[in-house]
Homo-oligomer: A and B are copies of this chain.
Amino acid sequence: MEMTLDAPLDMHLHLRDGEMLEIVAPLSAKDFAGGLIMPNLVPPVTDLAMVRAYRKRIEEAMGEAVFKPYMTLFFKADYSPAFLEEAREEILAIKLYPAGITTNSEGGVKGFDLATLSPVLGVMSDLGIPLCVHGESDGFVMDRESEFIPVYERLAGAFPDLKIVMEHVTTAAALGALERHENLYATITLHHLYITLDEVAGGLLRPHLFCKPIAKRPEDRAALREAAFKAHPKVMFGSDSAPHPREAKEAPGCAAGVFTAPVALPALAQLFEAHGALENLQAFVSDNARRIYGIEPPAKKVTLQKTPMRVPAGYGEAVVPMFAGEELAWSVARAG
């Protein structure tokens, strides 16, 4: 059995930099036609010279594969209208992080005072630059996303023409907000479709499945699956693939992030097939994103086959993927 995806897109991707970029960029570039590249480097990507230089480093690391890195800026409340107008030509979106909420987010937004954020958000709305948000409060870890929903709703109500993407949603509650505001959208990761907190901490503790936002309850996963399997028109695939070296994961303080880029399409095919939803995979991994972002990715067909993929124990000897050492029912047959 085979299925061919037309221009699969990963709309939330951490490619990192330096050696890690060299390891992981070719893996995304092999299977996907493009991806939305997160800007939380150290220092974060906050000007156009940094955007251009990072895009160049990505393109050099990708190898020969056809892959379009859609670039983002790290949200700052003091971006000028002139800067944003120029930036529009170089980026697809701006990513907003609450300060300190996840890896390399220390320079993010403190508090969500609309008066402070409004000048930039107003210009983004006028220019049609979507806002991507890591939506978590600083509350109890299981409540952070649901506590942030009022912020999403306040932003969506104040800027009805601004496209706001709730990134890597993990709860039924967040999906509920999609229905209340026309301008709210969401990405869903691979790992949140597969796991709950049980897989992270219900048996042995699994650092390679530890991520922000943390995986939630079974009923939350069920809601995410329902939205993905029917390819809810406001929902896109975004892996949030977030590699760390093994020594940063198997440690007394384990960094947050699940590395899924090289297994994403086979694992999605396996899950969608198991739930009779293969026919909607194309919309989930490409069509919805094209429509929501108004993009036309490079021509690329990726053919999946129902032939097992043996997932490596690690890439570059030090980066452990989800499903390391396991077998997935599907694999990528060819792409181009």
Contacts and interface: CB of A to CB of B under 8 A. Distances in A.
A202 B252 contact: no
A217 B142 contact: yes
Contacts of A210: 201, 205
A140 interface: yes
A301 B197 CA distance: 44
A324 B252 CA distance: 10
A204 B256 contact: yes
A102 to B, nearest CB: 10
Interface residues on A, range: 20 to 34
B201 A200 contact: yes
A204 B196 CA distance: 18
A196 to B, nearest CB: 7
A312 to B, nearest CB: 14
B202 A205 contact: no
A320 to B, nearest CB: 7
* Copy total for this chain: 2
Nearest to A100: B203
A35 to B, nearest CB: 26
A49 interface: no
Nearest to A218: B140
Contact of A204 (B140, B203, B214, B253): B253
Interface string A205-227: 11110100010011000000000
Q: Which of A250, A252, A254 has the most CB of B within 10 A?
A: A252
22 contacts: A140-B198, A140-B202, A141-B198, A141-B201, A142-B142, A142-B197, A200-B201, A201-B201, A201-B210, A201-B214, A203-B253, A204-B253, A204-B254, A204-B255, A205-B253, A205-B255, A205-B256, A206-B252, A207-B207, A207-B252, A208-B252, A252-B324
